[in-house]
Chains A and B, each alone.
Chain A
Amino acid sequence: MNKNNLLSELLSAWEETYKKGQLTLWIFLSLKDGKKYVDEIKSFVEVQSNHTMTCESQSLYRNLRKYQHVGVVDFETGEGNKGPERKYYFLTELGIELLNNFIERNINLFFSEQIKNLIISED
């Protein structure tokens, strides 16, 4: 296996594992951006992640049901486009607090000068 192939395979393997835990963050970010129905969430996640993240609607519905059950997400029904009413999901107060705490503990550390420099540096 040449170096490029090895690099590509290792990158894919790493990304596959890395992305598994990313969907919740992307869904929460899309809802922080405003109330959305499932197709809008899907589109937000795919566009904002530069299409590195993809998600099936069924998978989104399943996740949203779980989040709703634990009280971090809720929905209100709104008019659909010539179709049945849509569920517009949003973060509850608990959900916003959860996301903020998660970001503070797990994301903000990437913005420290030292880590930022390490990420930017190509050496």
Chain B
Amino acid sequence: MKTITKNLIAFSIGLVVFTVAFRFSLSFMLQNRLFSNAWIVAITYGVLIFIIGWIFGKKDKINLPLYDIGFRFHLATYIICNLIAEIWYLMDLQSEYENIRAVHLTAIFWGIVLLIHFIIYLFTRKNAIKGLKKSEIFE
């Protein structure tokens, strides 16, 4: 099954850019004690990720409607967000008000959700041939 598509790569690149920008802005604001403004950065980041996910996810479906209930995009998001967060701490770029425990806890709880998503995805594969929904191949 074709899993890594052009649109998934484009989404991932956008996600890397926005996540690095988010990490930088968040750490900068916290370090400068701009606590009440940090949520604006977080919401902006969330909205931007949603928008690029929507755009590239839609384009991906139009190009080739792989029946994966969004799992590929979810997995890419999980890997990129958590990897960048880990690297951020490894490079000691975080503010003094950030704790790596939050990153690890996020990875664990999000990982559980991702695992559930994966199990559901495995069930839905019964209705697919080479990743395409049976009822959509010849429509």
- Contacting pair B139 A69 (CB below 8 A): no
* Residue among B62, B132, B138 making CB contact with A69, cutoff 8 Å: B132
CB A6 to nearest CB in B, in angstroms, measures 29
- Contacting pair A69 B130 (CB below 8 A): yes
Interface size class of B (residues with CB under 8 A): 10 to 19
- Contacting pair A66 B65 (CB below 8 A): yes
CB A45 to nearest CB in B, in angstroms, measures 15
Verify if B31 is at the interface (C-beta below 8 Å from A): no
Verify if A65 is at the interface (C-beta below 8 Å from B): yes
A-chain residues with CB within 8 Å of residue B132 when the two chains form the complex? 66, 69-70
Residues 105-139 of chain B, each 1 if its beta carbon lies under 8 Å from chain A, else 0: 00000000000000000000000011110001111
The binding surface of chain A is classed by DSSP as helix
State A31–B5 Cα separation when bound (angstroms): 27
B-chain residues with CB within 8 Å of residue A70 when the two chains form the complex? 129-130, 132, 137
Verify if B64 is at the interface (C-beta below 8 Å from A): yes
CB A47 to nearest CB in B, in angstroms, measures 22
A-chain residues with CB within 8 Å of residue B131 when the two chains form the complex? 69
Verify if B37 is at the interface (C-beta below 8 Å from A): no
Closest to A68 in B: B64
- Contacting pair A66 B64 (CB below 8 A): yes
A: number of interface residues (CB 8 Å): 10
Verify if A34 is at the interface (C-beta below 8 Å from B): no
State A66–B62 Cα separation when bound (angstroms): 11
* Residue among A20, A65, A71 making CB contact with B139, cutoff 8 Å: A20
State A71–B2 Cα separation when bound (angstroms): 12
State A69–B65 Cα separation when bound (angstroms): 10
- Contacting pair A62 B129 (CB below 8 A): no
Which B positions have Cβ atoms within 8 angstroms of A? 2, 62-65, 129-132, 136-139
Leading 8 A-B pairs by shortest Cβ distance: A24-B138, A70-B130, A65-B64, A66-B137, A70-B129, A66-B132, A69-B64, A70-B137
- Can you report 24 A-B residue pairs in the complex whose CB atoms are below 8 A from each other? A20-B139, A21-B138, A21-B139, A24-B138, A62-B62, A62-B63, A65-B63, A65-B64, A66-B64, A66-B65, A66-B132, A66-B136, A66-B137, A67-B137, A69-B2, A69-B64, A69-B130, A69-B131, A69-B132, A70-B129, A70-B130, A70-B132, A70-B137, A71-B130
